[in-house]
Amino acid sequence: MLRLLLISLALLWGPAWALSPETAARIAAGEGDDRVAALQQAVAAGDASLAPFLRALQDGRVRLKGGQAIVVAEGQAVPADTEEPMLNNRMRREIEAALAGLDLLSPDRATRAKALATLRDDADASKLPLFERALASEPDAQLRSQLSALVAGAKLSSTDPGQRRAAATELAASADPATRALLLERMVGETDPGAKAAMQLAIDAIGSRLAWGERAQLLFSGLSLGSVLLLVALGLAITYGLMGVINMAHGELLMVGAYATYCVQQAFRAWAPGAFDYYLWLALPASFIAAALVGAAMERTVIRWLYGRPLETLLATWGISLVLMQAVRSLFGAQNVAVENPGWLSGGWALLPNLTLPYNRLAILAFAALVLVGMALLLGKTRLGLMVRGVTQNRRMAACVGVNTARVDTMAFALGSGIAGLAGCALSQIGNVGPDLGQSYIVDAFMVVVLGGVGQLAGTVYAGLGLGVLSKLLEGWQGAVLAKIALLMLLVLVIQKKPQGLFALKGRVLD
C-alpha cells in the first residue's frame, strides 16, 4: 500500500521523472539484495517510466550524486562530480529480465512476443503481479495462452505448495515442449508430495499431447527423405530400370543439375536482383537441359558401345563420374557453393508447437509427385514413350518396324539424365552443393531402384517412400549410422531373395 502511495506520489512529482527518487536510488546503489528487491518491486508496480531509467542504467547514463540517482540525457556530457553506479552480472541479468517484463505491456505485438520468449527461461514468483497484469490486458489470443503458461510457470516457483500444485494442474493443458522441460526441471527440486504428483500428471499429459506432434514430425521427415530418394531414383528408373544401363555417373548428373541451378542463381543476382525470388523457374529448365545434354553426350560417346556389357558400363561410367567431378572442381573450386532458397521457400508452416513443416521440404514433396506424374504420362501417353517402351521390350522387333533405336536410346538416356538434373536442382534447395554431392546419393538411388524392381515406375515409388520412412524410423531408434548400415544389409538380403526386386514383373530368363 505504501509502495502504491509512493508511486502515485512519484507520478505527481514530475512528468520527466515519474519514478520515485528513492526507488531509483535504491536500484542504482546499495547492497545487492536490496537493489534486486527494489527493482522487483518497481517491476511489479509496472511503472511505464521504469523502462527508460533501466535503459539509461544499462547504457551507463545514470550517475550517483550524494545518494541521488541522476539520469544524463543521451548525447550529453557526464557531470564531473558524480560516481558511476556498480553493475555486477547479477544486476545486469535482473535488469534485462525486468526490461523484458516491462515490454510485456508494450503496445507493439512483436515486442511483447519477443519479451515473452526472453522471459520463458526465468519466470519466477517476483514477476507474477506483472504477468497477471499483462495477461489481463493482452488482446492477442496466442500470446495470452503463452502468457498464462508463463504465469503458471511463475507460480511453480512460489513458496506455497498449494499454489505450486494448482500451477502444475493448470500447466497440464499446455502442448509446449518448453513447458514440459520446465516441469521436469522443477520436479527434481520439489519437496511437497502433492505438488510432485500433480507435476508428474502434468508432464504425462503434455507428453502424450506432444507425442502426436513427434510422430507426425517423424512421418513427415521420412516422407521428405523418401521424396528426395524418389526424385533421385526416378531418373535411374529410366536409365537403369528401362534401358539396363548401370550408370555410376548418375550422382554426378545430379551435381550438374545443382550447379546449373547455382549458375542461374548467380546470373539473377548479377543482372536481375529484383527478380531473385523467381530464379527457380528458370533454374528448373536449365538444370534439366544441362544434365540432359551431358547425358546425351555420355550415351553417344561411351555407353552406346557398351550395351549388353553391364560390368564394362559400370566401370566406364565410373570413369565419367570421376572426370565430371574433377571438371566441376576445376571450374567452381573444391569448396561447396552457396545456393539460397528464394524467399517463398524459406520458413515453414507451424502446425503444432513441436511440428513445423519447412516450405522447401513441402515443395520437394509436391515436385517429386509432379515429376512422377509427368514421367508416367510421358512414358505412357506420348509417341516417344511408346518408342522407348518398344525398344526396351524388343529391340530388334522395334527396329524392324522402323523405329530408329539408336536415336531412341539417346533420347531415353537424355531424359533420364535430365530428370536427374531436376532432382539436383531440388537437392540444391535443401542441402550443400559441392563436387561430392552425387557420391552421397548414388548408393541410396541404386538401392531404391533395385528394391523397386526393374522396368516399372510403381515399384520405384513404393521403394523410395518406404525406404525414406523406414530409414527415419530406424534413425530415431538407433542413430543415423546404424540405420544406414541396417538398410544396406536389408538391400543385400532383398537381392538375395528377389534378385529382380521386390516388385518385379514375373518372367523366366536364363542365359
Partner 1 sequence: MKRTLLVVIALGLLLVPLLHLAFPPGHVLHLSEFYVGLLGKFLCFAICALALDLIWGFGGILSLGHGLFFALGGYGMGMYLMRQIGRDGQYQADLPDFMVFLNWKTLPWHWAASDSLVAQLFLALAVPGLIAAVFGWFAFRSRIQGVYFSIITQALTVAAMLLFFRNETGFGGNNGFTDFKRIAGLSITSPGMKVALCMASAAALIACYLIARWLTQSRWGRILQAIRDAEGRVRFLGYDPVAFKLSAYVISALMCALAGILYVPQVGIINPGEMSPAASIEMAIWAAVGGRGTLLGPVLGAFFVNGTKSVFTAWWPEGWLYVLGALFIAVTLFLPAGLMGLAKRFKR
**Element containing residue 422 per DSSP (H, E):** helix 405-427
Residues 6+ apart with CB under 8 A from 315: none
Closest-CA residue to 96 (of 122, 74, 70): 122
**Residue 510 buriedness (CB in 10 A; 0-12 / 13-18 / 19+):** exposed
Question: Between 195 and 234, how does the x/- string for binding to partner 1 read (CB under 8 A)?
Answer: ----------------------------------------
Residues 6+ apart with CB under 8 A from 41: 3, 23
Q: Among 263, 289, 314, 352, which residue sits at the site for partner 1 (rule: CB under 8 A)?
A: 314
User: In this chain, which stretch among 51-59, 191-199, 208-216, 491-499 interacts with partner 1, using CB under 8 A?
Assistant: 491-499
Q: Which is nearer to partner 1, 53 or 446 (CB)?
A: 446
Listed in sequence order, the DSSP H helices in 272-381 are: 279-301, 310-332, 359-381
Instruction: Report d(CA 34, CA 308) in Å as an integer.
Output: 88
Q: Answer yes or no whether residue 481 interacts with partner 1 by CB under 8 A.
A: yes
Q: Answer yes or no whether residue 374 interacts with partner 1 by CB under 8 A.
A: no
Q: Closest distance between partner 1 and the C-beta of residue 128, in Å? A: 46
Q: Among 492, 506, 507, 508, which residue sits at the site for partner 1 (rule: CB under 8 A)?
A: 492
CA distances to 228, 424, 440 from 431, in Å: 11, 10, 11
Secondary structure E strands in 136-204: none
CA distances to 62, 156, 159, 326 from 163, in Å: 39, 7, 8, 68
**Residue 338 buriedness (CB in 10 A; 0-12 / 13-18 / 19+):** exposed
Question: Between 329 and 358, how does the x/- string for binding to partner 1 read (CB under 8 A)?
Answer: xx----------------------------
Q: Answer yes or no whether residue 463 interacts with partner 1 by CB under 8 A.
A: no
Q: Which is nearer to partner 1, 134 or 245 (CB)?
A: 245
Q: Answer yes or no whether residue 507 interacts with partner 1 by CB under 8 A.
A: no
C-alpha neighbours within 13 Å on the C-beta side of residue 495: 10
Q: Answer yes or no whether residue 450 interacts with partner 1 by CB under 8 A.
A: yes
Q: Answer yes or no whether residue 323 interacts with partner 1 by CB under 8 A.
A: yes
Q: Answer yes or no whether residue 312 interacts with partner 1 by CB under 8 A.
A: yes
Q: Answer yes or no whether residue 310 interacts with partner 1 by CB under 8 A.
A: yes
Catalogue the long-range contacts made by 52-55 (C-beta closer than 8 Å, 24 or more residues apart). Answer: 53/19, 53/24, 53/27, 54/27, 54/95, 54/98, 54/99, 54/102, 55/99
Instruction: Report d(CA 19, CA 443) in Å as an integer.
Output: 69
Q: Among 42, 43, 316, 391, which residue sits at the site for partner 1 (rule: CB under 8 A)?
A: 316
Q: Which is nearer to partner 1, 247 or 429 (CB)?
A: 247
Q: Among 20, 40, 148, 321, which residue sits at the site for partner 1 (rule: CB under 8 A)?
A: 321
Q: Answer yes or no whether residue 44 interacts with partner 1 by CB under 8 A.
A: no
Q: Closest distance between partner 1 and the C-beta of residue 277, in Å? A: 37
Q: Which is nearer to partner 1, 248 or 422 (CB)?
A: 248
Q: Answer yes or no whether residue 497 interacts with partner 1 by CB under 8 A.
A: yes
Q: Which 99-138 positions form the footprint of partner 1 (CB under 8 A)?
A: none
Q: Answer yes or no whether residue 302 interacts with partner 1 by CB under 8 A.
A: yes
Q: Answer yes or no whether residue 505 interacts with partner 1 by CB under 8 A.
A: no
Q: Answer yes or no whether residue 471 interacts with partner 1 by CB under 8 A.
A: no
Q: Answer yes or no whether residue 305 interacts with partner 1 by CB under 8 A.
A: yes
Q: Which is nearer to partner 1, 55 or 329 (CB)?
A: 329
Instruction: Report d(CA 47, CA 254) in Å as an integer.
Output: 61
CA distances to 115, 213, 295, 320, 438 from 302, in Å: 64, 51, 10, 9, 20
CA distances to 186, 205, 211 from 180, in Å: 10, 9, 12
Q: Among 97, 320, 368, 451, which residue sits at the site for partner 1 (rule: CB under 8 A)?
A: 320
507: how many CB neighbours lie within 10 A of its CB? 7
Q: Which is nearer to partner 1, 363 or 454 (CB)?
A: 454
CA distances to 103, 109, 352, 358 from 210, in Å: 30, 27, 9, 19
Q: Which is nearer to partner 1, 136 or 492 (CB)?
A: 492
Asked if residues 266 and 276 have their Cβ atoms less than 8 Å apart, the reply is no
User: Nine-digit cell at 58?
Assistant: 544499462
Q: Answer yes or no whether residue 326 interacts with partner 1 by CB under 8 A.
A: yes
Q: Answer yes or no whether residue 370 interacts with partner 1 by CB under 8 A.
A: no
Q: Answer yes or no whether residue 294 interacts with partner 1 by CB under 8 A.
A: no
User: In this chain, which stretch among 31-39, 179-187, 306-314, 383-391 interacts with partner 1, using CB under 8 A?
Assistant: 306-314
- Per-position DSSP letters for 218-287, written without gaps between them: HHHHHHHHHHHHHHHHHHHIIIIIIT----TTHHHHHHHHHHHHHHHHHHHHHH-GGGGGGHHHHHHHHH
Q: Answer yes or no whether residue 445 interacts with partner 1 by CB under 8 A.
A: no
Q: Which is nearer to partner 1, 233 or 264 (CB)?
A: 233
Question: Between 390 and 429, how does the x/- string for binding to partner 1 read (CB under 8 A)?
Answer: ----------------------------------------
Residues touching partner 1: how many (CB under 8 A)?
A: 39
**Footprint on this chain of partner 1 (rule: CB under 8 A):** 246, 302, 305-306, 310-316, 318-323, 325-327, 329-330, 443, 446-447, 450, 481, 484-485, 488-489, 491-492, 495-497, 499, 510-511
